[in-house]
Amino acid sequence: MNIAIPCKLIHPDNQLASYQAAVNENPHNERPTLTAGRSKRSIGSWQKFWGHGRVLTISFMENLPVNLKQRIEKLIRQWEPATNLTFKFDDGQAGEIRISTTDDVSNSYLGTDALLVPSDLPTLRLGIDPDHVEFDLTVLHEFGHALGMQHEHQHPSANIPWDVPKVYEYYNRHFQWTVEDVDKNIFNTLDVSTSLKGPYDKSSIMHYEIPNELTLGNWEVGVNTKISKLDRRNMRKAYPKL
């Protein structure tokens, strides 16, 4: 069993700022609350999708070889037809999405949380060698997060039969993850009010690889390398054509 270094979403410390950035960017991000009497000072549940029809600027923080930039851009643009956004690659300014390739981890802020990051810091990291067999899928996965998509294995209807002690032990031994890390990134299910409410998708590019050894019974998910049909359907829900 050999899983590539898994992605951990970057969560902002200030949840109120996250909420305000999301709702200011796209009023549809605010989800109806189950309780009618919340005060004006409290925050409800929210999604983190970009404003409809907006130009999303993307920049690289390092001076990469032209062929590598073109490769990354081509991969990212696979998401564009399923949205109502326009992707603009521009290294002449700090984009809303700022890509760095100098770290040893791959991760991203979720959608509009990128707006909370100082302009001299990256919002998306590709800490994987371009020659690695999983480089392309890593780009697709991380940019899915940048568009506001969350991890599919945490879908409320996934019902994955985890072998919990083995998962804790594996992720701690190989990646030095704490119990909290595993709970937050693997076991905790997504809030139904902030998910797109589509069916669970084992083929999603946003799904972790899950070996049989980490589950009870005969249950596994291989390495998903492409944007699935349901991924595209979810994008069209989040970013309906104008």
pTM of the model: 0.93
CA 203 vs. chain centroid, Å, equals 15
Question: What is the rounded average pLDDT of the residues 25-36?
Answer: 75
Chain segment 63-113, per-residue pLDDT in tens: 999 999 999 999 999 999 999 999 999 988 899 999 999 988 999 999 999
Other CB atoms within 10 A of residue 125 CB: 23
Closest to 124 measured CA to CA, from 72, 191, 66, 65: 72
Reduced to 3 states, what is the DSSP secondary structure of residue 224? coil
Q: CA 10, CA 26: separation in Å to the nearest integer? A: 20
pLDDT confidence of residue 241: 87
Q: pLDDT tens, 111-145?
A: 999 999 999 999 999 999 999 999 999 999 999 99
